[in-house]
A and B are shown apart, each in its own frame.
Chain A
Amino acid sequence: GAVVSQHPSWVICKSGTSVKIECRSLDFQATTMFWYRQFPKQSLMLMATSNEGSKATYEQGVEKDKFLINHASLTLSTLTVTSAHPEDSSFYICSARTSGRLGTDTQYFGPGTRLTVL
C-alpha cells in the first residue's frame, strides 16, 4: 500500500520557537494533503487542506499565520508551527490523497508527529 512518512516523529521545543513538520508521500504523487491535530483521547480534527502549488484552505478557528502550510511538490507538504506555545502541544497527523492508480477514496495517513512545547 501507499506510504506516507512524517518527520520528525517526536519534537520537544521551547515556547516561542518555530517547528517544521514534513509530510511525504513515498510512492505516489499526492495532489491533496491534509493536516490534522489530535489532542489526547480525542479524535482527529482537520486543520487545513493543501493542494500542490496553491494556498492551503484552513478550517474555521485555525490561525493561518500560526500554522503555515507549504505544499511545495506533489510529494511534500510542510506544516510550520510558528511561535509555539504549550497549548500547541499535540499530535499532528498528515494524510495524502491522490487520484488514478491508487484511487480517490482512501486517504493514506502518516504516522504522526508528537509536538511538546515546554
Chain B
Amino acid sequence: DTGVSQDPRHKITKRGQNVTFRCDPISEHNRLYWYRQTLGQGPEFLTYFQNEAQLEKSRLLSDRFSAERPKGSFSTLEIQRTEQGDSAMYLCASSVVSGNTIYFGEGSWLTVV
C-alpha cells in the first residue's frame, strides 16, 4: 500500500527561479489538496482538485503559483519567480469523495535563498 508520494522532498533555489513539485496521490483517490506549512504554524489550504478539475484556490495562491492535475492522476505545483517568503513545506494530501480520512504526503521542503 503506497501512500501519498511527493517529489522532490527538499529543494533549495535562488530567489527568482522557478520550482515545480509533484504529488502522486493514493491510487483511486479522486480528491487532491495542496497545503503550505511554515515553521511553528499549522498547514494552510492552497488549492483543491476533484479529479482533474481545480475547484478552489486560496487567496494565498498568488499569480506566481499554478497547480495542475492532468487526467486526474498526479498533480504539480509550480512556483514562478520564487521569493524568500515562499520558503515553507508544501504538503499534498488525497482522499476519496465518499471517505472521511485525508492522507498527507511527506511534504516538499522549499528553501529560497
Do these two chains interact?
no
